[in-house]
Amino acid sequence: MNICVFLSAADLDDRYTRPARDFARLLGKGGHTLVWGGSDVGLMKVVADGVEEAGGRLCGVSVEFLAAKARPGVDEMVVVKDLAERKRLLLEKADAVVIMVGGTGTLDEATEILELKKHGHTGKPVVLLNTAGFYDGLKEQFRRMEDEGFLPRPLSELVFFAEEPVGALAYLEESLGVA
């Protein structure tokens, strides 16, 4: 599988990096490809290192103004003009999406894929990896949107909330029929 991971490029503490590294190793051991923002810094680097060390492939999509932070020596690296093109290409190259901890950029990417799913423009499975309860508030907000009629489809059809890396990958493999 080509798994797009939306996540932070910030340097974070172990409560966030350890689960990200665990997921990356599972992805690599499964022979999957990481499709990510291409940066070789922060949590993006942690995940890319884990995938590569475990034998997976790396497909980066960077943007011109961040090209200096792009990871060298990957299997594939594309540098695009702007963030909108980057999101489009990341989603195009992916079979599935995992949303890890991150800031406003990650939230923007997450809401875009959910909006596409909501309107039937993609059927790709999406997992929100709720590391250390990071997305508890967002999960509650999504449930409120569902309960109050803001979502035309059940929340469970849009996103799967995983508390642990192994559950995230298992859901993706099951959704896509990969053993």
What average pLDDT does range 83-91 have in this prediction?
A: 95
8-state DSSP, 115: H
At 128, phi and psi to the nearest 5?
Answer: -105, 110
At 175, phi and psi to the nearest 5?
Answer: -60, -35
Pair of tokens at residue 128: 């929100």
pLDDT band at 177 (very low <50, low <70, confident <90, very high): confident
pLDDT confidence of residue 178: 82
Look at residue 151 and tell me whether its pLDDT is greater than 80: yes
User: Helix, strand or coil for residue 34?
Assistant: strand
Question: What whole-number distance in Å separates Cα of residue 109 and Cα of residue 105?
Answer: 6
